[in-house]
Structure 1
Amino acid sequence: MKIVLLVPDGVAVRNYIYSDFIQELHQANFEVVLYHQIPTPAIQEIKKIQGDLITAYYRIPDFKERFISRILRESIAYARLLQNSNKLQNNTIMLFWNGKSKTFKRKVLLRISELLGFCFSKNYSWILKLENWYEASILKHPTTKIIKAELAKINPDYILNLHQRAVTTAPIIALAKKKGIKNGTVIFSWDNIPKARLLSKYDSYFVWSDLMKSEMELLYPEIKAETIKVVGTPQFEFYFKVQFQLSKEEFFTTYNLDINKKTVCFSANDASSPYEALYLEDLCESLMRIEEPNRPQILFRKCPVDVSNRFDVVLNKYHHLVISINPEWRIASDLENSFTEIYPSFSDISLLVNTVLHSDVVVNLGSTMAHDFAVYNKPCLYLNYDPVNPSTFKVKDVYGFQHFKSMAEIVPVGWINNRLDFKDKIQQALDDSETTGPDRLQWMQKIVKHPLQNNSQNLAQEISILCTSV
């Protein structure tokens, strides 16, 4: 059997292509083909890691939506956000609509989309019609002729999309359905379903948990429950592999950390969270009030796709306190502004594993890193205050997002509710980790199917069953 993996960006490389998923597909007798839109250096690194387990590589043709297709897609998103916010009784869902624009053309497009989306949101069946119109519109795009020829050449038994939001994969899936090729998608992250960016409809959907499945059944009632498969996600499997782990002595020596000090990891979000540098500065100022012999050090890891210099002033000011270890992600030189040109090196897996393994607590603003640390049963402190007032970016909106409803009735993290909290809350987490977010393992079990080590196998086995079923 032959499976095509759609890889529209570098994040999918880390979570799936570097994982055991490829090996599991091979053991299930699949020939694996990558249909991708990532740079040549990333492909070269994948070949070093996976060798002949991936038999062929095809580049996804450039696909630029026509104006009417873009309006249809954005109208669908706006209509579904309105529907989702109503169904879930959660107004923060509308914050996922990016209605701002610097160009006149985009402003016009968004205003038209908002008007159409509002009208079509009044009847769910109208949204489904919009989705059919969108699929029909992209099937008329000239690029589909190239894709059609390539699919005929590859002749796959199954197509799996590794990122359901990518626009470039929509015509591929549309053609696959037209040709009767079985297909599916992973739902990429724990917060993706309410965001209304499921661009295509598939034969099967692979989700992290029962919680995610129930959410999808509610928000997409046209999707049959039996097509939603709970398989987990491979991204946490690396933490269980000894080959990625260094001794504490080796890791601390390599990155000039003090082995005699406790370590606080500050993991930053991307530029959509504008006050990360202020949070880091508040943390630094607070820890400086602790006497030097007892003062923990800060290991700073910025978001891999954040290429800004917004932390430089703080890092220079507190260079004696903060050790900045940049994620080992690469940016292809030819198209630096394209997200598809950013990809992780394989070495970053070990860097992340050891950052979590050898840090004592993590501090961040609502990041998935809380789950990474939970793998090793380590505490997380969530930032829960606005460092700037008045501000259009409100931290209460962040924790109002639907995926944080999974914390109801449990205490999986500790909270930094103001800048004066840092010193005591961090000291408490370092002295007695079980008192900070004691329910972190319970939360992790709600978010991701356990055991975590089996998730690549789960996904490969489900696809194998689907391919052999009549």
Structure 2
Amino acid sequence: MTKRVFISADHGLAIVYFLQSDVLPTLLDAGLEVVLLTDDGLREQISQRFGRPGLTVEGLRFPQARQYFERNDHTLQYWLHFLRWMGGSQRINTNAMDGHLRQMDYESSAKAKRLMPLIRGLTWGLRRSRWMRQGLVRAQMRFTPDLYGDLLDQYQPSLVVASTPGWRLDRYLLRQAGQRGVRTAAAIIGWDNPSSYRLPGARVDYATCWSEIQKRELVLGSDWAPERVHVGGIPTYDGYFRKEWVIPREEYFRMHGLDPQRKLISYACSFVTFSPNFRNMETLARLVSADALAQPSQLLIRLHPNHFMPGSLYEQEAQRVRQMIQSMPHVHLVEPVALGGELGYYSGEDMPEKASMMAHSDVFTTVYSTMVVETAIHDRPIVSVCLDTPGGWNTPGKFSLALTEIAEWPTHQRFREAQAGRVAFDEGQLRAALDAYLRDPQLDGAERRKFVQDEVTYTDGSAGKRTGAALAKLALEA
């Protein structure tokens, strides 16, 4: 009987990781059938675009999963989720989680605030006690609804793979699969995921991650057994290494109305949940428009997916940016393309756009975003711009965290310590960093290349095949 693998693609980046890399072809070439579970509303669209023999697309049943979360001991499920998020071992850097804990303390309701001393006490214990962490993972298993029983019966998978170890609604699929004795695995898709989330939302058997750094975070921070964590690189970036997505410079400049005679400085918005990006963009736009840099330049701004959340502060910021650039001929805007449905703006729909923006930038700027890794792959100079906005969001009830306070977050710390780019905390430092790179694009080149090697492991475009082969082995041996 042909063996089958379930893949949970509950996020736009998961579509790129599994379907726009060598992971899926490697699984199929191993003689496995693949059942992709994704947003119900996109099943037909994904089938048409990625369909091939051996691939079936089914729905992830987001509405039913969300309804179960909201209607079945919602308060208890909510706090279990929060404790998993905050309660990873202190054996690794907890600064990112500490920032989220401060946000929760500030933004929670009056009733929740009364619970926060208890939550902080439990978090303190979880970070110090493996026994408590294991107990928390076991306790959450009582919330295992029968959402996928018919699919598990119909397809009888040998392996269920999710794009997180149950950190999102995929926890219900992983729990039900584990309850039935089906082998489970998690693919770590995000650079900061192992340091920002921590304890699994289900008892997951195996994980595959980018690097030995991430493996250490999983083992020390989340109690994974080392022999159950595979280092396979990051399949999503194989296309970068193979230069599959880069649009020729002349064509790309023409697409955005860019001046081929001016240097290109790009800015990818990041970290908007905690702090505005507007001052960063405004300062860059002013320096470019005033020709205040070492060479005549232009600015291309890429909005963040959160900028498209209806009615949010982030949406308001995006509108301010659109208004600002109307009178600035050397400032241009890129808006990420949505895959649709609940998969959001983190999608592979504009990988050529992203790749080309990085490849053709004379200097790439952001706020410690994952794109510092992606841009280092393209060997372009990088500046992390951390100009604080006085008062942050200046909105009652909305937590703000100064950009100057986030340097010690795990991935941010690694970028700085690798000296793969510069960090600017004020306009003078920003101008100096931009001028240095405009004068010498090879500055810090050796450090960028080592940073890439350390963070993604495989730089030859083989991560998809390596990861697919590891997952195929788990399925075939089950």
The TM-score bracket by the shorter chain reads 0.7 to 0.9
- Provide, for residues 170-218 of structure 1, a one-character-per-residue CA deviation record: whole Å limited to 9, x for no partner: 2221222222211100122222223325322311111110111122221
Change over 3 Å in CA distance of 1:316–1:79 after alignment to 2: closer
Equivalent residue for 1:403? 411
The one-letter amino acid paired with 2:58 is Y
The one-letter amino acid paired with 1:370 is V
The one-letter amino acid paired with 1:180 is G
The alpha-carbon deviation at position 235 of structure 1 amounts to: 1.7
> Is residue 248 of structure 1 aligned with residue 258 of structure 2?
no
**1:96 equivalent among 82, 100, 108:** 100
The alpha-carbon deviation at position 346 of structure 1 amounts to: 4.7
Equivalent residue for 1:444? 452
The one-letter amino acid paired with 1:297 is Q
Equivalent residue for 2:426? 418
Equivalent residue for 2:318? 311
275-284 or 243-252, larger mean C-alpha shift: 243-252
Q: Take 1:287 and 1:362, find their aligned partners in 2: how far apart are those partners?
A: 14
Equivalent residue for 2:475? 467
**1:326 equivalent among 321, 325, 335:** 335
Equivalent residue for 1:47? 47
Equivalent residue for 2:358? 356
The alpha-carbon deviation at position 21 of structure 1 amounts to: 1.9
**1:367 equivalent among 369, 381, 385:** 369
What's the secondary structure of 1:453's corresponding residue? coil
Structure 2 counterparts to residues 160-171 of structure 1, below 5 A: 160-171=161-172
- Provide, for residues 265-317 of structure 1, a one-character-per-residue CA deviation record: whole Å limited to 9, x for no partner: 11001531422011100111222332699421111111134211313334433
What's the secondary structure of 1:245's corresponding residue? coil
> Is residue 138 of structure 1 aligned with residue 143 of structure 2?
yes
- Provide, for residues 236-263 of structure 1, a one-character-per-residue CA deviation record: whole Å limited to 9, x for no partner: 1222455533221111112211112110
The one-letter amino acid paired with 1:181 is V
Change over 3 Å in CA distance of 1:120–1:415 after alignment to 2: closer
The one-letter amino acid paired with 1:323 is H
What's the secondary structure of 1:35's corresponding residue? strand
16-25 or 177-186, larger mean C-alpha shift: 16-25
Structure 2 counterparts to residues 18-417 of structure 1, below 5 A: 18-36=20-38, 38=39, 40=41, 42-53=42-53, 55-61=55-61, 62-63=64-65, 64-65=68-69, 66-67=73-74, 68-80=76-88, 83-84=89-90, 87-88=91-92, 90-91=94-95, 93-97=97-101, 98-101=104-107, 103=109, 107=113, 113-118=119-124, 123-135=129-141, 137-139=142-144, 143-144=145-146, 146-195=147-196, 196-221=198-223, 223-241=224-242, 243-290=244-291, 294-307=295-308, 308-318=315-325, 319-332=328-341, 340-343=342-345, 346-388=348-390, 392-407=400-415, 410-417=418-425
- Provide, for residues 296-353 of structure 1, a one-character-per-residue CA deviation record: whole Å limited to 9, x for no partner: 1111111134211313334433431211021112444xxxxxxx35155654111112
Q: Take 2:132 and 2:295, find their aligned partners in 1: how far apart are those partners?
A: 62
Change over 3 Å in CA distance of 1:243–1:11 after alignment to 2: closer
Change over 3 Å in CA distance of 1:191–1:30 after alignment to 2: same
Q: Take 1:182 and 1:356, find their aligned partners in 2: how far apart are those partners?
A: 39
Contact (CA 8 Å) 2:379, 2:445: kept in 1 or not?
no
- Provide, for residues 417-467 of structure 1, a one-character-per-residue CA deviation record: whole Å limited to 9, x for no partner: 311233332122122112246401101111112125111101111112223
Change over 3 Å in CA distance of 1:291–1:138 after alignment to 2: closer
Unmatched tracts of structure 2, length 5 or more: 309-314, 394-399
Equivalent residue for 1:336? none
Equivalent residue for 2:396? none
Change over 3 Å in CA distance of 1:290–1:5 after alignment to 2: same
What's the secondary structure of 1:34's corresponding residue? strand
Q: Take 1:342 and 1:385, find their aligned partners in 2: how far apart are those partners?
A: 28
Q: Take 2:466 and 2:360, find their aligned partners in 1: how far apart are those partners?
A: 29
Q: Take 1:374 and 1:292, find their aligned partners in 2: how far apart are those partners?
A: 23
The one-letter amino acid paired with 1:7 is A
Contact (CA 8 Å) 1:13, 1:343: kept in 2 or not?
no
The alpha-carbon deviation at position 370 of structure 1 amounts to: 1.2
The one-letter amino acid paired with 2:330 is L
What's the secondary structure of 1:126's corresponding residue? helix
The alpha-carbon deviation at position 58 of structure 1 amounts to: 2.0
> Is residue 455 of structure 1 aligned with residue 463 of structure 2?
yes
Change over 3 Å in CA distance of 1:59–1:390 after alignment to 2: closer
The one-letter amino acid paired with 1:158 is L
Q: Take 1:367 and 1:294, find their aligned partners in 2: how far apart are those partners?
A: 26
Change over 3 Å in CA distance of 1:89–1:210 after alignment to 2: closer
The alpha-carbon deviation at position 397 of structure 1 amounts to: 2.8
What's the secondary structure of 1:206's corresponding residue? strand
Contact (CA 8 Å) 2:265, 2:298: kept in 1 or not?
yes
Q: Take 2:392 and 2:293, find their aligned partners in 1: how far apart are those partners?
A: 35
What's the secondary structure of 2:384's corresponding residue? strand
